[in-house]
């Protein structure tokens, strides 16, 4: 399963059991499930009530961005609870953009779908600040899509810039009760505003020009080139992630004998 890998990436383990409920397309026949379902916006694919250690996965919406299937939604929501546990009493100081970006990053890696959603969402609008993303998550579905893509991209950029251990370091610093901006600086050695400015320059250079291409064929060519650029800098980490997931699901150590055969 994905839990050991989530624990490794976030540097946290569940503080107590977590209840995640699979919600059918029409939960009205199950009053308790229907009440839980009412706890999140209707367009959300999943949600977690971290204080209560309970959450839901809406089967009918699991394919919506930024997920892809029910397992992806489940991993994302469990990651939210682990982030809550890692931050401890200071969990309320962790911005939503950070929690959503980390939960998406821990669930999977940047893809062509992310590049397309991100570049399309930037059409005719500027890239929101990190602070503004928190409001976007609670707004309309289009605004939330941009918020998911932007926060995901920032975390992915941060991991490349400061190393994969940056996420656990930030969470440990935040758990000390200091303001998040101070926790970020302690974990990275760089002020959050400077990190955001560097990310914005990189992100806009990569993605902002795509919507300006108007021809359908040229558009898809541009998106393909964009994907190749993004994949080039993320491919190694993605391969490493898959190998670790496979190792977690197959704990037996295997090696070859002198005859070239696998032995356990």
Q: How far apart are CA 141 and CA 74, in angstroms?
A: 20
Question: What is the reported pTM?
Answer: 0.76
Q: How far apart are CA 58 and CA 37, in angstroms?
A: 8
HSE-CB of 213 using CA atoms within 13 angstroms: 19
Q: How far apart are CA 31 and CA 69, in angstroms?
A: 25
Write out pLDDT tens, residues 68-110.
889 999 999 999 999 999 998 888 889 999 999 999 998 887 7
Of 228, 210, 227, 208, the residue nearest 219 (C-alpha) = 210
pLDDT of residue 202: 85
- The CATH class, in words, for 3-249 is mainly alpha
Q: How far apart are CA 158 and CA 166, in angstroms?
A: 8
pLDDT of residue 107: 83
């Amino acid at each position: 399963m994905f839990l050991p890998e989530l624990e490794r990436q976030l540097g946290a383990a569940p503080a107590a059991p977590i209840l995640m409920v699979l919600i059918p397309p029409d939960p009205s026949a199950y009053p308790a499930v229907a009440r839980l379902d009412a706890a999140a916006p209707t367009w959300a694919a999943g949600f977690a009530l971290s204080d209560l250690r309970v959450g839901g996965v809406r089967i009918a919406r699991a394919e919506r961005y930024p997920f892809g299937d029910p397992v992806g939604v489940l991993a994302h929501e469990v990651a939210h609870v682990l982030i809550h546990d890692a931050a401890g009493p200071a969990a309320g100081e962790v911005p939503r953009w950070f929690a959503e970006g980390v939960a998406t990053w821990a669930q999977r890696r940047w893809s062509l779908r992310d590049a397309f959603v991100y570049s399309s969402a930037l059409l005719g609008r500027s890239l929101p600040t990190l602070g503004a993303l928190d409001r976007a998550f609670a707004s309309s579905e289009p605004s939330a899509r941009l918020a998911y893509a932007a926060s995901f991209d920032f975390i992915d950029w941060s991991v490349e810039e400061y190393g994969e251990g940056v996420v656990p370091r930030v969470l440990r610093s935040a758990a000390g009760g200091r303001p998040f901006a101070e926790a970020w600086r302690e974990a990275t050695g760089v002020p959050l505003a400077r990190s955001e400015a560097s990310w914005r320059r990189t992100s806009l250079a990569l993605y902002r020009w795509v919507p300006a291409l108007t021809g359908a064929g040229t558009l898809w060519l541009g998106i393909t080139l964009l994907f190749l650029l993004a994949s080039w800098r993320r491919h190694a980490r993605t391969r490493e992630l898959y190998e670790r997931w496979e190792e977690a699901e197959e704990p037996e150590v295997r090696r070859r004998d002198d005859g070239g055969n696998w032995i356990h």
